[in-house]
Amino acid sequence: MKAVRQSVKFNQQYLDKDALKVVNTIIKAGFEAYLVGGCVRDLLLGLKPKDFDIATNAKPEQVHKLFKRSRLIGRRFRLVHVMFSARKFIEVATFRSGNVQTAKTGVIVRDNCYGSIEDDVVRRDFNINALYYDIKKQEVIDYVGGLIDIADKEIHIIGDAKLRFEQDPVRMIRAVRFQTKLNFNLSNEVK
């Protein structure tokens, strides 16, 4: 899987200083860390993101040790919330691999298998949400055509749509929400 890298300088007013601190702290500790998902999509569209998520190769316990005001959460997939106030936290997720445990219905019940950024990207839901931002190089990293989908204003799911919707039915609701919020078109496989 080959990554496309696009240089981008985002509006500094839209970048969350606490999210940048979290990314820098993780990088300084010797790990990879990127802004990921909807915040990157929104920044590319000139929108102010409502929250910032981070993806890293550091395990949740390693991230937790880096931040005094953090907590481990999640059973299906472990995450770290780095707390900045009673209402503000930055979510940090370790890169996921493709190994998941599913129920007979196909719904994912356990997902604590870690991998690389290339593994993580195919575990995300839609191409437009599978974009990573390298704050040091000021580059968006795209493995699945998310930059093209944003330019074309289309929503494509990553992988087989039927399987992905079976694994997590909430993805159907998210697709419609993104269609409405962004004024994008649902691709044929999503419809």
- Contact at 8 Å (CB) between 54 and 26? yes
Residues catalogued as catalytic? 51, 53, 125
CB-count burial class (<10 Å; 0-12, 13-18, 19+) for 17: exposed
Joined together, the tokens standing for residue 12 give 């500094």
Give the integer Cα–Cα distance in Å for 127 and 119.
Answer: 14
**Sequence-distant contacts of 136-139: CB under 8 A, at least 24 apart:** 136/27, 137/5, 137/7, 138/7, 138/8, 138/9, 138/10, 139/5, 139/6, 139/7, 139/8
